Amino acid sequence: MRVGLIFGGRSGEHEVSIVSARAVRNALEERSHDVVPMAIDRRGLWAGAEVSAEVLDRSGDRTDSVVPFEGMDRLAPSLLGGQLDVAFPVLHGPYGEDGTIQGLLETLGVPYVGCGVAASAVCMDKALTKRLLAAAGLDTPDWIELSRHEFRAGSGTVAGACTGLGFPLFVKPARLGSSVGISKVETPDGVVAALEEAFRHDTLVVVERGVDAQEIEVPVIGNHEPRAAVPGEVVPGHAFYDYADKYLDDACRLLVPAPLDHEERERAETLAVAAYRSLGCEGMARVDLFLERGTGRYLVNEVNTIPGFTPISMFPKLWEASGLPYAALVERLLELALERHRERAG
């Protein structure tokens, strides 16, 4: 198949996306697919195939791919020319994981890997995600949402509402990712500064009760009959799983699989599949859970519709531990994309 590999993009996870895309390309080539690389630079401009391939080939230092790319075209001709059998967006965060790229591919009639427009958009929005999870009877940490407008109108009252949740609190921009703009707040006098920081990144903010929990990640794939891989655990190296933990240092540990007993593991998998269904996910997603210490209760944290795909990322590692090696996983995702496209066509 001719597979359009879309990577890079406008979000803070630009470099990670390139590392993921490189690994996906290798897997696609291993399976004898014809890969059409499509790089998007930090401004949102699409590169032609030649420049895109160069970006992928430059291994080593992640930052050397920082744009501007030379020889930029406004939009990859291969995408517009109807030459692709399927597209694989390997883009993390806003303008890629959030339904925007998926919408573009829908308008062009190109089948694509992963969740559709609505599920992608909902999962990028922590407030919308929580509302749908609640409607399905699935627990999340207690939370409230605040708009920048409300905050500016009366920051004192707003801070009071947050305090009502108890401490510690987590204050998060509603529609971002990679922990950017997120603060853990231990005392009431830290609330306003945390809100100000989060509102620098988004007009909508989610404030949650902090839970003392193990962080359990569950990969799920499928359309009508989603199934979960064995869960993994993230053990943060900092006060929480922050940006530095994710991308800058090696302080955090990824446990593949998570050290859970049989019953804890089954509950995680069942909950992950239920969350996946309730959000309308298709293709794939990684469902992140909290396993609360003391109560043994699971809470859903968030759902990532385009999880990391680097060779050391949780999503492929956990599938590998579940008997589906990297290249076979990628192949299965292509099949799911085509299956959905055929069904839609009736």
Ligand X SMILES: Nc1ncnc2c1ncn2[C@@H]1O[C@H](COP(=O)(O)OP(=O)(O)O)[C@@H](O)[C@H]1O
Binding-site ranges for ligand X (CB under 6 A):
141, 170, 172, 177-179, 182, 208, 210-211, 215, 236, 240-241, 288, 301-302
Nearer to ligand X, 84 or 213 (CB): 213
322 classed as catalytic: no
Which position among 78, 286, 298, 313 bears the catalytic label?
286
d(CA 173, CA 201): 6
- The CB-of-241 to ligand X minimum distance in angstroms stands at 3
Concerning whether 13 is annotated as a catalytic residue, the answer is yes
The one catalytic residue in 8, 12, 114, 308 is: 308
Report the nearest approach of ligand X to the CB of residue 165 (Å).
10
- Beta-carbon contacts of residue 237 (< 8 Å; ≥ 6 apart): 245, 249, 250, 251, 252, 253
Query: Does residue 186 have an active-site annotation?
Result: no
Q: Of 26, 147, 155, 178, which is the active-site residue? A: 178
Residue with tokens 């947050």: 162
Nearer to ligand X, 202 or 331 (CB): 202
* Residue 327, CB-side half-sphere exposure with 13 Å CA sphere: 9
Catalytic, 34? Answer no
Shortest Å, Cβ 344 to ligand X: 29
Distance CA 48, CA 37 (A): 8
Residue closer to ligand X by CB (options 26, 178) is: 178
* Min CB(181)–ligand X separation in Å: 8
Say which of 4, 8, 11, 13 is annotated catalytic: 13
Active site residue 11: no
| Cβ nearer to ligand X, comparing 80 with 312 | 312
CA 116 distance to own-chain centroid: 14
DSSP H or E run through 322: none
List the Cα angle 153/156/160 in 5-degree steps: 125
Q: Under the phi-then-psi rule, with left for phi > 0, alpha for psi from -120 to 50, and beta for the rest, what region is 17?
A: alpha
* Closer Cβ to ligand X, 238 or 341, answer by number: 238
38/87 Cα distance (integer angstroms): 10
Among 97, 105, 76, which residue's Cα sits nearest to residue 302? 97
Report in angstroms how near the CB of residue 140 gets to ligand X at its nearest. 8
Exactly one of 52, 301, 304, 313 is catalytic; which is it?
304
Among this protein's residues, is 308 annotated catalytic?
A: yes
Residue of minimal Cβ distance to ligand X? 241
The angle formed by the CA atoms of residues 146, 198 and 136, to the nearest 5 degrees, is: 50
The catalytic site residues sit at 13, 178, 247, 286, 288, 302, 304, 308
